[in-house]
Amino acid sequence: MKRQNKILKDFRKLHLLYEEGAIFTAFDTETTGLSPTNCRIIEIGAIKFSKEGIIQTYSQLFNPQCEIPYFISQLTHINQDMVDCCKTINCHLPDFLEMINNTILIAHNAQFDLNFLNAECEKSGLESTKNKVIDTLQYSKWAFPDLEKHKLDFLADYFKINKGSSHRAFDDAETCRQLFLKCTEVRK
């Protein structure tokens, strides 16, 4: 799969982007496994925002048209009954892509979510995303190099960010948004 997205790595400029009014979308996916080729997205959560505040939110479950593995249900608390009555992702993907259009995407371990999102675009006959991206995993390593871990749950606990329900897409997107804001406070 060809990578279309440019991951921003000049972390010193991210605070300026935020202060100048750039629009961001923090997002997260929950999936049926680890391979975007063989697995599907079962949930997307997103928060579109700027320094002025939250502009739009998105939270949607999808029918993956396959069985959700037991360990995924245990991790996400998303079970087969919850998704069997939902529409497939291709029914909702155009709306999500419209929401994120012209925004800078933010995700923790961003390449994972981007690979799945772009694989779903391809499967749906849609163009892959071309958004610029901030990976809060890398951003937090730059901003807080002395921390022993940089997993989203650890960072949320460390910074006393309310995680909601970890491993649910919308709550993880909000945690990621809060982590991004915490990182933008660092000036090096």
Report the catalytic residues: 167
Enumerate the β-bridge partners of residue 49: 24, 54
CA torsion sign for 64, 69, 73, 76 is negative
Assigned token pair, 136: 């809060």
* Residue-wise DSSP of 2-54: ---PEEP--GGGHHHHHHTT--EEEEEEEESSS-TTT--EEEEEEEEEETTEE
Amino acid identity for residue 25 in this structure: T
Largest CA distance in the chain: 49
- Residue 100's SS3 state is helix
CA end-to-end span of the chain: 35
In what order do the strands lie in the sheet containing 41-50?
Answer: 6-7, 132-135, 104-107, 24-31, 41-50, 53-61
